Structure 1
Amino acid sequence: MRPHFLAIPALLASTAMVQAGGIDRSGQSINALFESGRYAEFTFGAISPDTSGTAVAALGGFDSGDMTSSYMQFGAAYKADINDRLSYAVIYDQPFGADVDYPTGTNYYAQGSQADLDSHALTGLLRYKMPNNFSVHGGIRIQTIEATAAVPFVTGSAGPFAGAPYRVDGDRDTGVGYALGFAYEKPEIAMRVSLTYNSKIKHDVDTTENSVLGGPNRSTTDIETPQSVNLEFQTGIAADTLLFGGVRWVDWSDFDISPANYGTLTGGGSLVSYDDDVFTYSLGVGRRLSDTWSVSASVGYEKSNGGFASNLGPTDGNKSLALAAVYTRDNMKITSGIRYVNIGDAQTAIPGAAPAANFEDNDAVAFGVKVGFTF
């Protein structure tokens, strides 16, 4: 198996975790750690979701319009060997995010609602190879988050459409977590199985709220980005043919964003929360066509859990198909891929109306490019 052929599983990351697990975006991949020699990569993804719903008749039956903005993802990594047994990697990614913008002028109950969540993470990892084909890895992750939201229909007065609109701004905060895992490799058949645990990371976000309760009201909102486990594998199944895939579990049921005034206005409601953990599955096949070209196709699946979704994230599960190619020349490899995502149908709710809207037949398209150098 040629070295560039082994890069095919990384295509899953280069086309982004579109809509996976609500605000899960990068998948927190550590594939760069397993590259040979000294290696650097840069990743770019452009994601265009199309998400809209229709209010129930009791709320006028109006269409929401497309409430998800297109966004871009960036990533980078550097890996090097210290000696025959020990190596390290430094990985930058944007693990979590949200870009919500309900258009105005639609008469939809959530018109004008907005939400933005930005995160950046820098992970430093060490890997130790043991004599029996096993290796262990672990390290520290430093992460920042920043968030804002405006929810005009939350007013704390009689009826969802009256009173002063609600807005919250969270300052950027930095938290620290860790990653631990192990891997087993059998290079003669291009086999590798890795398991990585990512800890939750706690943030104490300085928060400013404005609403019918007055403002600016300042407080601290505790936010913990969720713990997760990534199981990834690849193996040769025939000459120049690779089977690859993975399972990602994220502890979303323990995730909650509840600014102080928002809870008062909604009778204890959360701005963002999830009822269930999320498992995301992927499976693909790669094929080396020549010394310079490899291609792959993969499918992804995330179960629909039912119940009511947040108005700021009205999705429930997804199915996806990705096609990708790797071009290798000298010490450079260029990985490009496109992914189509069928976003799972969801229902939303507001106080006094459950369901409030139905979101159906939504999708997203993502395009990713990764450029890697071995030197």
Structure 2
Amino acid sequence: MSDDLRLGLNLGYWQRHATDATDLVQAAERLGYDSVWTAEAYGSDVFTPLAWYGARTTRIKLGTSVAQISARSPVTTAMTAMTLDHLTGGRLLLGIGASGPQVVEGWYGRPFPYPLARTREYIDIMRKVWRREAPVTNDGPHYPLPYPGGTGLGKPLKLITHPLRPEIPVYLGAEGPKNVALAAELTDGWLPLFTIPQQIPALYGDSLAKASPGFDIAAMVLVMVTNDLREALDTVKLMLTLYIGGMGARSKNFHADIISRMGYAEAAEKIQHLYLTGKKDEAFKAIPDTLADDISLLGPPARIRERLRLWRDSPVTTLLAMGPHDEPALRTVRDLVLG
């Protein structure tokens, strides 16, 4: 439980049009937000906007939520993270994640199986790169170094540049219990996407057992301060329609799986079926208001302040607000969370 939630701003990834959120990021820094986070799917990448914002700020931490591991080799991500960490004075928080088979195999052209083993290997290689204790080698099956075969001329190498920090904080975007357990075992923090805060102990208590002191649970939460609760609920439901219905195959949709584990199995199955049969409006209507409300902070300030108690009484340590789009909204959220 924490009465001292840290507050971050999650910008997500660009939608149809490019978005420069410099003014919003600078306002968040002025208002005392601890961090700002970007994301990637199959549009804007996760690192370039952070470099842009990092050059225009001085204090706020810069997080990736998340860098997809199939998009880059582990040494490429390690080099990019080291470079950005140097240029921003040690402000990077490196969130990574496995994504799903549709994106991994359909967009990146990489195999999806064994995501846990691949993630473990990936993290190990990145930390070898940053520590510079020896030329980097890896005997694992997913990212062997040097590459077996080929010309036979590959040799182990050591990072030329000395990192500003040899232990850049690593976070893991995870939804399944085994993946959350991996986050607790190996990383500095967990980035849950959809969370009912009071359910975390029951759903993930065993998974979090190996977490070290200071382990950061940085939950992404849509925050909408408004007197129109109906409109706010519908905004969340619109997002859930896509994630439950269309962000994954019928046989493997991690977002639908987590909604099922949170007690909405029948609804998740119905929503996915309607969406995949082209009935998107009906899928939207099938999302329970209680689900949209449970994972979000919506409504007038007094209602949000009351519902924040659920987050303060949970294991969540950082609230990553999604939704504030101007300085007044940022200030209101800041006052509610940190005031």
Q: Normalising by structure 1, report the TM-score.
A: 0.27
Higher helix residue share: 2
Larger Rg: 1
- Determine which structure has greater relative contact order: mean sequence separation of CA pairs < 8 Å that are 6+ residues apart, divided by chain length: 2
